[in-house]
A and B are shown apart, each in its own frame.
Chain A
Amino acid sequence: MIFLYSTYNELIKIALKPRSYLGLAAITGLVGIILFALKADGMSMISFVTASFEQTLRFEGEVLNGNLVAFIILQMLIVHIPLLVALVTGDLISGEAAMGTLRMLATKPISRRQLLGSKFLAGGIYTLLIVIWLGVLAVVVGRWLFGPGDLMVLNSDGLVILQENDVLWRYAGAFCVAFFALLTISNLSICLSCFSDNSIGPIVSTMAIILLFTIIGTLDVPVFDPIRPYLFTTHMASWRSFFEDPLPWESIRNSLVVLTLHHVLFVTVALFAFNRKDITV
């Protein structure tokens, strides 16, 4: 029961902290700008992409529809969401250590494991809310402004055209995988937060790790080939697999396994560190 109360406390603290709304505001602003840009000049952008296919294919209907708009938004924004997540979750322990409230909490009849668990759960719920908000803005508002239609996706294998009635469930799956990937960021930043007594350190460290792993993942150097499949950043974009036809279930499963291993690693390290952290000063 005390774990549920503690989780509720953590959610209240997140909800009443002004910085928690930075992420939601940033997503709203960025999606708004993309929607405005696509509404104003989207066709010329689409024509530029479809020009190379026009000699072999004939497009009928609205290519620039809500489903394509949602895909473009996801593609453009999903790389920025980790920063917005870490901004809140990286502060959950180190911020309290800096304020001194962690010491106050430690005098209550809640174990450190329960306290940390409630912070992981609250961080996960915040991440879920960020993803849901992005989904609402991208899919719901996108379809409302641009209308539904078939989705045309250009990926490494070529052009994939998905029928309108075959798209929504793919978005649902894509957002679930995107959430699972972002949960890794949330867990990583909370884990780093256990090692710090100031709120900036874990946020900057989380971004530095993402940057480092992304560079290792994209550098075309053979020496990194053995570790590349095991970096969580390699699997951050696995949500895109839901827009391939047929669905690469094997690849999705592999991504989920690697991400799950990272979740377990970060939570275990955090538990170990938090149980030994001096929170009395």
Chain B
Amino acid sequence: MSNPIVNIKHLSKHFGNFHAVQDVNITVNSGDVYGFLGPNGAGKSTTMRCMLSLIQADKGSIELFGKSIQKHRSEILSQVGCLIEKPDFYKYLSAFQNLQIFSRISGKPSTKKEILDMLEFVGLQGREKDHVSGFSHGMRQRLGIAQTLLHQPELIVLDEPTTGLDPQGIIDMRNLILRLKNEQKKTIILSSHNLSEVELICNRMVIIHKGKSIVEGEVHALLNEEEQIIRLQTSSDSMETLLAFLQNHGTAIQINDNSVEMNISKEKIPQLNAQLVHAGIPIFAIEAKRKLEDYFINLLAS
């Protein structure tokens, strides 16, 4: 039996006449990497802000670690590390001083060694004395993660942590989250509108649209990962041969002069690969297409 860390029931919040969140239900279990998916303005950030008691919900109950956030705010927040949108720091202070400031009021002040170790963990070793004003967005994001983790929280809440990062920064951030999941077994709630990010990192997710939770559950179950869409690339000369060959394996759709896409059972992909080689059809690439993208678009369209 999994242990629920976050239990949100019938959450609603409106700003004037605008219903930002309507009757949202969410359960996050211990050890989950839980994805909050939705387009911009869907209500992801509002839900997170209500969850952290940054804003008051109009209706519903929010329980973290089995306790109401309204009644036990300080106790709960001392076990939560969060990064809401872009991290902002005191620009006239160094990275080390900034972490000291946030650490002192986190409920568990950190030692100098703990702060230096955390800076090393996020890849900012040697930059502890540098003023934050000179940091790039990626470095600030990593410092934000450091302040989130410094007091060893049980639950980590990251609101769009890769926004504004360059491709390398996105990969670094993704690896950092995976390390938290695999090495430290943290429970992580991750909001994003980057579908591949959620598909790669999260084991459970909720899709929020127009303030409502449309679907919630295991990522693999929702995406039916037994089936996989793959894209095969060949030369334009070999396209006809390839299409004829694939007729025996399912329905293939030609995308352009040298690419086809087809739906295939995951365990049959190596077998297909071997048969293509055996048939002498030149294949330049076989790539798995992200399924969440299709799932998400179909869901929103319906």
Instruction: Point out residues on A near B: beta carbons under 8 Å.
Output: 2, 5-6, 8-9, 12-13, 16-18, 99-101, 103-111, 278-280
Contact = CB atoms under 8 A, between A and B. Distances in A.
B105 A5 contact: yes
Contacts of B77: 107-109
B33 interface: no
A163 B295 CA distance: 91
A107 B101 CA distance: 13
Contacts, number: 73
A109 B106 contact: yes
B173 to A, nearest CB: 18
A17 B105 contact: no
A6 B105 contact: yes
Given A101-B89, A101-B90, A280-B84, A109 B107 contact: yes
A101 to B, nearest CB: 5
B174 interface: no
A87 to B, nearest CB: 15
Contact of B82 (A5, A99, A107): A107
A279 B102 contact: no
Given A103-B84, A280-B54, A5 B109 contact: yes
B90 A107 contact: no
B78 A109 contact: yes
Interface stretch (B91-99, B183-191, B228-236): B91-99
Contacts of B102: 104-105, 108
Given A99-B88, A105-B105, A280-B84, 15 more contacts: A2-B107, A5-B109, A13-B93, A13-B101, A16-B92, A99-B90, A100-B86, A100-B88, A101-B88, A103-B54, A108-B102, A109-B73, A109-B78, A109-B106, A110-B74
Contacts of A111: 73-74
Nearest to B90: A101
A5 B110 CA distance: 12
B87 interface: yes
A139 B106 CA distance: 43
A221 B147 CA distance: 58
Contacts of A101: 88-90
A57 to B, nearest CB: 56
Contacts of A108: 77, 102, 105-107
A99 B80 CA distance: 23
B75 A109 contact: yes
A9 B105 contact: yes
Nearest to A279: B54
Nearest to A19: B92
B97 A16 contact: yes
B104 interface: yes
B288 interface: no
B187 to A, nearest CB: 16
B55 interface: yes
B49 interface: yes
21 contacts: A2-B107, A6-B104, A9-B104, A13-B90, A16-B92, A16-B93, A16-B97, A99-B90, A100-B86, A101-B90, A106-B54, A107-B52, A107-B84, A108-B105, A109-B73, A109-B76, A109-B77, A109-B107, A110-B105, A280-B55, A280-B84
Contact of B104 (A8, A104, A107): A8
B60 to A, nearest CB: 18
A111 B54 CA distance: 11
A12 B98 CA distance: 11
Nearest to B144: A104
Contacts of A99: 88-91
A281 to B, nearest CB: 9
Pairs of residues from A and B, 6 with the lowest C-beta to C-beta distance, nearest first: A100-B88, A109-B77, A109-B74, A5-B104, A109-B78, A108-B105
A262 B290 CA distance: 63
Of the listed residues A8, A12, A17, A105, the one surrounded by the most CB atoms of chain B closer than 10 A to its CB is A12
B16 to A, nearest CB: 13
A226 to B, nearest CB: 42
A103 B100 CA distance: 17
Nearest to A105: B105
Contacts of B105: 2, 5-6, 9, 105, 108-110
B104 A103 contact: no
